[in-house]
Amino acid sequence: MVAREAIIRPKTKGYVANYCGSFTEKFFYFNPDDRPTSHKLTKFRAWQRKAVNNLIPTMDILSQRYPRLFDDALNCWSCNQHLETNESLWLCPINLEVLRPHIVGYTQDLLSYIRRTCDHGDFLLTQEINNNAIFRFFLSPSGVMPPPDATSPFYLTCRQVITHDFSTLFRGKYKNKKTLHNTILLKFYELTQLIKRIIWKPRNNNFKTWKIAHRVTKHTYRQYRRKHKRSRLTHNSQVSRTKQ
């Protein structure tokens, strides 16, 4: 389980306006494996915590933990034009274009799914999806719409936050409340997993290839920590003697 305190709510205008608190909190209890415990669930829950708190191990975070170890590998693995951060990971122009056809496919599947399972009210669904703030950039021709930014519902989606933009697509279409809630959580899970698979997985594979080429292993991290721990202890000892 994830404590409510683990769900960080940045106090930005865009976030507050779009944040759907009840569904986001339900999502942090959502179990895609349908078993009380599993390796898949453990990994999913860890990813949720990292994503919502901007703690995915991007290069800015790794360089803070291991200064100088990644000096020549700090930039975005897709475009190499900017420092890689949690924010830039999801908003990199190259990543957005790579993601575009996959979001188009997701919205087509979503349209078919809702029409097949809903009880009523789907006659405007195509328009609702096309105009939805999460999908509008990806469903428009390249260069027509401005790309998402850090206040956009798409960025919040990447951070595992369910927005009103997303939940509104399902409201009024299902008579049963439990069916409505389960559908929102399931389809949001599928969307976030898609984004992770298309953006994060290739990036992580590139980083693994770099580590192999530069012989960076778990032992390297342990050795680095031990070395710098000794350095800090020596420095503190020298400072203490100087003060005496």
- What would the pLDDT profile of 38-47 be if each residue is shown by its tens digit? 899 999 999 9
Domain that holds residue 43: 4-213
pLDDT at 225: 86
pLDDT at 35: 80
Residue 152 contacts residue 133 (beta carbons within 8 Å): yes
pLDDT at 216: 94
Q: Residue range 100-127: average pLDDT? A: 94
pLDDT at 242: 45
pLDDT at 130: 97
Q: Model-level pTM?
A: 0.87
pLDDT at 68: 86
Highest mean pLDDT among 4-13, 19-28, 207-216 belongs to 207-216
What is the chain's mean pLDDT, rounded? 89
In-domain check, residue 244: no
Residue 190 CA to residue 193 CA, distance in Å, equals 5
Q: Is the pLDDT of residue 228 over 90?
A: no
Half-sphere exposure at residue 191, Cβ-oriented, CA atoms within 13 angstroms: 30
In-domain check, residue 241: no
Q: Is the pLDDT of residue 104 over 80?
A: yes
Q: Residue range 133-144: average pLDDT? A: 96
Structural domain count of the chain: 1
pLDDT at 41: 94
* 235 — pLDDT class (breaks 50, 70, 90): very low
What Cα–Cα distance (Å) separates residue 26 from each residue in 2, 63, 94, 161, 188? 10, 34, 32, 11, 11
In-domain check, residue 20: yes
Write out pLDDT tens, residues 166-186. 999 999 999 999 999 999 999
pLDDT at 212: 97
Q: Is the pLDDT of residue 10 over 80?
A: no
Q: Residue range 38-66: average pLDDT? A: 96
In-domain check, residue 31: yes
In-domain check, residue 167: yes
pLDDT at 122: 76
In-domain check, residue 234: no
Measuring CA to CA, which residue among 204, 195, 215 is closest to residue 77? 204
Lowest mean pLDDT among 26-30, 64-68, 74-78: 64-68
**Helix boundaries (H) for 118-200:** 125-130, 136-139, 153-158, 164-167, 177-195
In-domain check, residue 169: yes
Coil/strand/helix, residue 83: strand
Q: Is the pLDDT of residue 204 over 90?
A: yes
Residue 178 vs residue 33, higher pLDDT: 178
In-domain check, residue 240: no
